[in-house]
């Protein structure tokens, strides 16, 4: 995914707690930006109690590009996420990549309408694997999340997208 993060976590043992990030982009124009990005060089990352309403493509984007158990312990807890087309999205895109310790809980995903433009798909949570399928997300935990509000496309006559996608 080509993108520009507004906040890039470039360390480990980091907690973002209680911040509000909003109104950085433009409604009706999915510019492909990411609000918070966490990559495979990190571990032990917690993002909690945040208000994320950025007018961007992704609220929280995490990924593993490496091989082996290089990405671990990502906790996304109690966040209020809106005005995106993916709430929390990520996965692995290299052969033999392994992610462990992924926890997505107690989040409220709502009102993605502003960023539901063109051919984007709207997902509260979007998990993906590499094209080879030789990578793994070990036992992700997703629970107590709520998705509601307006997920309709910004432009008329375009179908509503799914809420949870696992590719």
Q: Please determine, for residue 141, whether its predicted confidence score (pLDDT) is greater than 60.
A: yes
Name the band, by pLDDT with cuts 50, 70 and 90, for residue 160.
Answer: low
Over residues 1-30, mean pLDDT: 86
Over residues 33-53, mean pLDDT: 88
Alpha-carbon span 151 to 69, nearest angstrom:
35
What pLDDT is stored for residue 164 in this prediction? 55
pTM exceeds 0.75 for this model: yes
What pLDDT is stored for residue 43 in this prediction? 83
What pLDDT is stored for residue 76 in this prediction? 96
Q: Which residues, other chains included, contact 95 with Cβ-Cβ below 8 Å and sequence gap of 6+?
A: 67, 130, 132, 134, 135
pLDDT tens digits along 80-135: 999 999 999 988 776 677 778 899 999 999 999 888 887 778 899 998 877 776 77
Q: Please determine, for residue 165, whether its predicted confidence score (pLDDT) is greater than 60.
A: no
What pLDDT is stored for residue 162 in this prediction? 52
Q: Residue 64's CB: how many other CB atoms inside 10 A?
A: 28
Cβ–Cβ < 8 Å for 44, 74: no
DSSP code for 29: B
């Amino acid at each position: 995914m080509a993108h520009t993060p507004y906040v890039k976590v470039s360390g480990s043992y980091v907690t973002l707690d209680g911040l509000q990030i909003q109104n950085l982009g433009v409604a009706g124009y999915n510019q492909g930006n990411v609000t918070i990005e966490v990559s495979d060089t990190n571990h032990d990352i917690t993002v909690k109690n945040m208000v994320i309403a950025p007018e961007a493509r992704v609220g929280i984007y995490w990924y593993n590009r490496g091989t082996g158990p290089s990405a671990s312990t990502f906790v996304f807890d109690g966040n209020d996420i809106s005005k995106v087309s993916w709430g929390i999205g990520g996965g692995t895109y290299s052969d033999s990549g392994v992610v462990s310790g992924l926890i997505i809980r107690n989040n409220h995903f709502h009102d993605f309408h502003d960023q539901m433009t063109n051919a984007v798909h709207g997902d509260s949570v979007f998990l993906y694997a590499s094209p080879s399928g030789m990578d793994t997300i070990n036992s992700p935990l997703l629970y107590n999340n709520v998705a509601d509000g307006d997920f309709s496309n910004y432009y008329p006559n375009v179908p509503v997208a799914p809420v949870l996608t696992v590719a």
